[in-house]
Chain A
Amino acid sequence: MPQLLEAFRIALDMIVSGDPVVFSIAFRTLMISVTATVIAALIFIPVGCLIHFNRFRGKRFLVSIIQTLFSVPTVLVGMLVFLLISRAGPLGSLGMLFSPGAIVLGEVLLIAPILTGLTISALSGMGRDVADTALSLGAGQLQMVLKVLSESRYMVLTAVLMGFGRAVSEIGVAIIIGGNISGYTRTLTTAIALGVGKGETSASIALGIILLALAMIVSVTVNTLQHSEK
């Protein structure tokens, strides 16, 4: 317990004093995970819509696969992306490995199933009547999709926040394809892992608190924007 209090004190110190190292790690972490979430949302919410509004053979099976991938181990994604972008791999010529961009790529792939799957769930929760009403009022296909999406926006937003939560807290991708390079690819989670390894418990807990604070800021901001639109 005293250790936890000490950690809170250190975390406060770091935040209040504007510790440049901690701030740059926190900022980098935020940039990487927000970028990954935005890219993943732009691609995989539409993909979720496509799957939901189309009938095809094996649709249920596909949805099951997507839901299974919610649980894909982060280290496995890390290793697969490593093999892909290592210089000896198929995309090696891009020289992406051990860069912040590589972490973004890995996190986009990591959270793609969550965004796709939860978008499908959100749309399924709406039932047919919204779509039918929209169509009966003369809406085109695209307008109908946007209408249903708009009606289910709280759930879709939850999907986005879930994706962000997984991206900001994961370590497998960041450490394997980022490499935890000081001042370049070090994120809050990899810094915590290094700190725990060194037995610097209080400072590690402090970084954990900062990570949760970031998550809170993002979620509160998104929710506020949501409500202010009314």
Chain B
Amino acid sequence: MTKYIFTGLLLIAVLSAACGGQSEPSAEPAMEQTTEIAEDAGNESVPPRASVSRLRVATTTSLYDTGLWSYLEPMFEEEYGVELDVLYAGTGKALEWGRRGDVDVITVHSRSREEQFVEEGYGLERVTFAYNYFLIVGSPDDPAGLEGMTPEDAFTTLMQNGEAIFVSRGDDSGTHGKEKAIWAIAGYDYEDVRTSGDWYVEGGSGMGPTLVMADEMRAYTLSDMGTYITYRSDLDLEPVVDQGDILLNVYSVLEVTSSRNPEMAANLREFLTSETVQDLIGNYGVVEYGIQLFTPCAGEGIQGI
């Protein structure tokens, strides 16, 4: 009798395979609302084949949540005839994937850790390709009165206030690293900050979810500008601190030494730093959001902090 069960299940598999064949999309631009949540229809039309090579890039969440990678991915695939797999994670995890040899290219934003990654021999070279700034955002009534302060003064005020909530990424990401750096120049030991009270919330999520959480809790958080602008219309959060050298946010691309496809990895680095794509990055989101999300900077020697 069990064979009926098995044949039943197999039948379902076959049936669904048949249905799937019919519903195979013809790469038409689908409904707006669903492409946002899901994926660009462009790369859906080609089922994964063994003969098409795949290249894996691990990216920091901010370059993913802004939609920049979904925008660039089909162009790269078209130009080089390769399936590009974009994996998103915090900078810490992205670099860990690189150390384990699970990805070919990394695009992240944490200078010291990237330089360490290269020094340890895991990455070829740190090539910067775009920058923007971090912002401290909070609910418009600004309960702790941070408006116009320097980042380090704002953090000092939050620490002394002890009531206004601050949501930290708390996930070892590049943004989390930047936050720790600001605590350091404000003169605090990060462990003291973490354990100082209920006002300090460790969210443990990507940038988008953290912004949503800060909005729900009427809290402050540190965000990269790109993700904040992308999410702004759904949030009741305003920038309160946006001036200070420490807030510079530089994105770079690193080829992983152990990549099985080093030539294609190099192609991706060249693609990102090419004049055409640099222009596209500079113009990305300008029409939609009325503001530049990323400033291209390949070959300009901007290294970041």
Contact = CB atoms under 8 A, between A and B. Distances in A.
A88 B86 contact: no
Contacts of A207: 37
A87 B258 contact: yes
A20 B41 contact: yes
B122 to A, nearest CB: 11
A230 B26 CA distance: 43
B5 A186 contact: no
Given A41-B6, A182-B86, A200-B37, A20 B44 contact: yes
Interface of B is mostly: helix
A203 B36 CA distance: 9
Interface in A13-57: 13-14, 17-25, 27, 30-31, 34-35, 37-38, 41-42, 45
A211 to B, nearest CB: 13
A42 B85 contact: no
Contacts of B34: 14, 19, 21-22, 203
Interface string B151-174: 000000000000000000000000
B18 to A, nearest CB: 11
A21 B36 CA distance: 10
B101 interface: yes
Interface in B1-60: 1-2, 4-13, 16-17, 19-20, 23-26, 28, 30-31, 33-41, 43-44, 48, 56
Contacts of B150: none
Interface string A173-214: 000000111111010000100111111100110010000000
A38 B208 contact: no
A225 B1 CA distance: 12
A44 to B, nearest CB: 12
Interface in A94-108: 95, 97-98, 100
25 contacts: A14-B31, A19-B31, A20-B23, A20-B41, A21-B35, A27-B16, A31-B16, A41-B6, A86-B101, A87-B101, A88-B99, A88-B101, A89-B100, A98-B56, A150-B2, A181-B86, A182-B86, A183-B44, A197-B65, A197-B206, A199-B234, A203-B37, A222-B8, A226-B4, A229-B4
Closest 8 pairs (CB-CB, A-B) = A20-B25, A182-B39, A150-B1, A87-B101, A225-B8, A197-B209, A88-B100, A195-B37
